[in-house]
Structure 1
Amino acid sequence: MKRHLLAAICIGLSAFAGQAQNFDDYFVNKTIRADYIFSGNSEAQAICLDELSSLPQWAGRRHHLSELPLAGNGEIEMKDKASGKIIYRTSFSSLFQEWICEAEAKKVTRGFENTFLIPFPKNTATVTIRLKDVYHKETASLTHEIDPKDILIHQRGDEASITPHRYLLKSGSEENCIDIAILAEGYTKEETELFYKDAQTACEALFSHEPFKKLKSRFNVVAVFSESKDSGVSIPRQNEWKKTAVSSHFDTFYSDRYLTTRSVKAIHNWLAGIPYEHIIILANTDTYGGGGIYNSYTLTTAHHPMFKPVVVHEFGHSFGGLADEYAYDAAPSPQYPYSIEPWEQNITTLADFDAKWKDMVEPGTPVPTPVQTEKSLIYTKVGVYEGAGYTQKGIYRPTTECRMKINEAPVFCPVCQRALEKLIRFYTDK
């Protein structure tokens, strides 16, 4: 859906630093919500700490704590201050890192909100957050301490202030399941039941796709009714500006269908006190569009005829770090230099194809692979098909068609399915 994917990440597990540890050795069952500002322009970037908050439970993983599930274009590393041991790592993408590839970033400096959830340490910990460019080189970093006794850590999520919500799927505790929150955007109080209906549709669409379908018992899904003053969402090109829960709008980076929000703190304020790890935001509009940013959020329109395939596609970005497999430009994408193997599991420049799906390609398969026309092979015949990552030449996808390429695709391709399943099992296998 996005013109430039910041959800781009390789799903291969990186080597973990240090020995694995038990969650209870270093953490209590609470969450640190870390709010940052990423700022800068195309030439230089910086990170500053905005605020630390405490949430009443930890919904994330309790194992593989010092391993990275995906090699994103940013990462967070937490160390126990006393021992220097790495006790938690995670990765992410950001709208800011996409913006710095835009022409505007050559002329102006901007700041973007970013929020991340990390387990609450028992003792003082040091946290380092890093940003990387499209060449995988570090461009900015910040190291700060978290003292669990700090009185200025904002306590959020008390029972009296929790946003109204309903569970659509409850497979187990937050300790054992992946917790998805579906948030309302542009729904007024009178449209409460409409939102819950739309959220149920989104939930059913997601779990009609493999591997989510067969691993459904590893997920919880909660619909959270974040009330808006106005119905609908903002469309700047039509001079429509709405007062909505998370201030989303179309025309991000002047792209008509790119729907995002920069009010990331508002998203997390609505969710405080509810266990969550991954976020889907439903916009109450029939205008086509959406966006998905890895480990940040999916945002998509709920009343367009393509709602169901689009919400699944965008969740492929925000949850799975999958790339867009479509191509519309003959020129190279600024996100994907030909000399660098992309992070995403489902596209390749062939710079390091061994790290991708080479093991799934039949020996003797030509590269590029001719496009399949037989219906039974369109979604299943794994090869090296030219055209992906917005670029017609030099970047390749695994199959002729896939959920990450076209809305009409009924399934994720075998490579995307494998990547998603690896990630689900990383979060939930002990």
Structure 2
Amino acid sequence: MKLQFIITAAMLLCLGVPAQARHIDFDTHFSDTTLRLNYIFSGNAACQHIAVSNYCKSAHWWGKRHRLAQVPVEGNGQLTMRLHRTGEVIYRNSFSTLFQEWLTSPEAQVASRAFENVFLVPMPVDTVDITVDLRDSRHRVAASLTHQVVPSDILTRNTDAAGTAPHVVVQRAADSLRCIHIAYVAEGYTQAEMATFLADVDKANEALFAHEPFKSNRNKFSIVAVTAPSAQSGTSEPGNGVWRNTLLQSHFDTFYSDRYLTTLALNRLHDVLAGIPYEHIIVLVNSSKYGGGGILNSYDLSSTHHKAFAQVIVHEFGHSFAGLADEYAYAGEEDSTYPRDVEPWEPNITTLAHFKGKWEQLVASHTPVPTPVDSARLDRPGLYEGAGYSLKGVYRAYPDCRMRSNAVPYFCPVCRKAIERVIDFYTAPEADGQ
């Protein structure tokens, strides 16, 4: 099978058609059903493993129906679906994971842990081979698993049987088949607090669509709010000895960072969302403590009652939706997330290892590197040092941006362009090929 795939790809290249850009007809290869792939990622900094946990399915597919073998950003990992009988690639997606982030922590040097991870794909009509690759900071494949999926497998759990969680339509897209589906999910709101949750959804949604390019593309987003209650109000704060019984078991102090608020219960999160139209997820956490987190094609999560809530929820969506990197640096710390001789895949930072294709056309030839910040020219593009958690050797395009600080009420032009490319990837009509 592998040899046959190589020949097919080579034939396409001879014809001048890039293998991943050719048109793949959704209705030929897929049914209107979501296949949910549940995995366990485990290991430590030295060795990682991927294992299948189980499969689930539910009616309707809410993700992309075009550009099926392309990804808008590379991510820290990729999922590839191939027809088993021919090896043809019929679907791809990219992602990042909390597990891979944990691998950079001191704990991963001395201990092993396991993390749930969930990916949604359209249900194939024929048997397929699915490959999941995890990549390290040098973009090398660190762990890989290929497994076969048979659409008629009787052990694929039908999550529709459990019913659909209560939800409210927040806004409808102009075109329901060529749009981006977002679900807001309540975390730490009791049944008696659902009115507060819906008010928080409105605040978060208006904050998001006050920013360009979301503002001018608002009619391309379909949004629901899932009003699934928690047994207790709030969220866990391990550093303060506080543990709450909440829907998604969220907590602060992730990786021992006081403000890092996440959930590890991804299977539970997707169980709650079964049967609801969604692809991107925003979890609102009922807390007044500052914090949040955003992971590409996984979720955006933020506490809702801190004064900086609106800024944080938009910043984290920059991560989870468009794969934007953080543009700030930690004073007194040197982070190894971005090796200086490797170009980051994120579109809004650079090490200058391979700057071409980012914002080099905006930078004048005489611009010094690093570019000094001129308070009178905050709109001047350049190569400003201090980004990707490092004070030296990693550069951003502008002095400030929503991806750098809460004080700036906008995305810089480079981040806006990156977000717009992702919106167009999901919603724009195909050109020749895809």
TM (normalized to structure 1)? 0.94
Deviations 1:320-359 (A, max 9, x none): 1001111124553121111111111111111111131101
Q: What is the CA distance between 1:389 and its match in structure 2?
A: 0.8
Q: Say if 2:21 and 2:70, in contact at 8 Å, map to a contact too.
A: no
| Equivalent residue, structure 1, for 2:387 | 388
Within a 5 Å distance, the mapping from 1:91-130 to structure 2 comes to: 91-130=94-133
Q: Tell me, what secondary structure is at the counterpart of 1:228?
A: coil
Deviations 1:173-200 (A, max 9, x none): 5421100000000000000110011011
For residue 207 of structure 1, the aligned residue among 195, 202, 209 is 209
Q: What is the CA distance between 1:363 and its match in structure 2?
A: 3.2
1:122 aligned partner, one-letter code? V
Deviations 1:187-246 (A, max 9, x none): 000001100110111110000000000111110111111210000000001110000010
Q: Say if 1:384 and 1:398, in contact at 8 Å, map to a contact too.
A: yes
| Equivalent residue, structure 1, for 2:34 | 31
1:50 aligned partner, one-letter code? S
Q: Say if 1:93 and 1:293, in contact at 8 Å, map to a contact too.
A: yes
| Equivalent residue, structure 1, for 2:168 | 166
Q: What is the CA distance between 1:420 and its match in structure 2?
A: 0.3
| Equivalent residue, structure 1, for 2:420 | 421
Q: What is the CA distance between 1:166 and its match in structure 2?
A: 0.6
Gaps of 5+ in 1: 1-14
Is it true that 1:240 corresponds to 2:239 in the alignment? Answer: no
The separation in 1 between residues aligned to 2:31 and 2:176, in whole angstroms, is 14
| Equivalent residue, structure 1, for 2:400 | 401
| Equivalent residue, structure 1, for 2:5 | none
Q: Say if 1:203 and 1:221, in contact at 8 Å, map to a contact too.
A: no
| Equivalent residue, structure 2, for 1:340 | 342
1:211 aligned partner, one-letter code? P
Q: Cα–Cα, structure 1 residues 178 and 16, in superposed 2: closer, same or farther, change >3 Å?
A: farther
CA RMSD between the two structures: 1.2
| Equivalent residue, structure 1, for 2:252 | 250
1:276 aligned partner, one-letter code? Y
Q: What is the CA distance between 1:251 and its match in structure 2?
A: 0.2
| Equivalent residue, structure 1, for 2:64 | 61
The separation in 2 between residues aligned to 1:247 and 1:372, in whole angstroms, is 45
Q: Say if 1:39 and 1:45, in contact at 8 Å, map to a contact too.
A: yes
Is it true that 1:140 corresponds to 2:139 in the alignment? Answer: no
Q: Say if 2:175 and 2:220, in contact at 8 Å, map to a contact too.
A: no
Q: What is the CA distance between 1:16 and its match in structure 2?
A: 5.0
2:299 aligned partner, one-letter code? Y
| Equivalent residue, structure 2, for 1:288 | 290
Q: Say if 1:60 and 1:174, in contact at 8 Å, map to a contact too.
A: no
Q: Tell me, what secondary structure is at the counterpart of 2:423?
A: helix
The separation in 2 between residues aligned to 1:174 and 1:298, in whole angstroms, is 23
Within a 5 Å distance, the mapping from 1:369-380 to structure 2 comes to: 369-374=371-376, 377-378=377-378, 380=379
Q: How many residues align?
A: 412
The separation in 1 between residues aligned to 2:400 and 2:25, in whole angstroms, is 42
1:346 aligned partner, one-letter code? N
Q: What is the CA distance between 1:18 and its match in structure 2?
A: 6.3
| Equivalent residue, structure 1, for 2:89 | 86
The higher-RCO structure (CA 8 Å, 6+ apart) is 1
Gaps of 5+ in 2: 1-17, 430-434
| Equivalent residue, structure 1, for 2:8 | none
| Equivalent residue, structure 2, for 1:179 | 181
| Equivalent residue, structure 2, for 1:10 | none
Q: Tell me, what secondary structure is at the counterpart of 2:356?
A: helix
For residue 159 of structure 2, the aligned residue among 156, 159, 179 is 156
| Equivalent residue, structure 2, for 1:20 | 23
2:70 aligned partner, one-letter code? E
Q: Which runs of 4+ in 1 moved over 6 A?
A: none
| Equivalent residue, structure 1, for 2:304 | 302
Identical aligned residues as a percent? 49
The separation in 2 between residues aligned to 1:246 and 1:173, in whole angstroms, is 32
TM (normalized to structure 2)? 0.93
Is it true that 1:51 corresponds to 2:50 in the alignment? Answer: no
2:397 aligned partner, one-letter code? P
The separation in 2 between residues aligned to 1:87 and 1:40, in whole angstroms, is 30
Deviations 1:115-152 (A, max 9, x none): 00001001111100000000001111111111111111
Q: Say if 1:16 and 1:67, in contact at 8 Å, map to a contact too.
A: no
Q: What is the CA distance between 1:59 and its match in structure 2?
A: 0.6
2:288 aligned partner, one-letter code? D
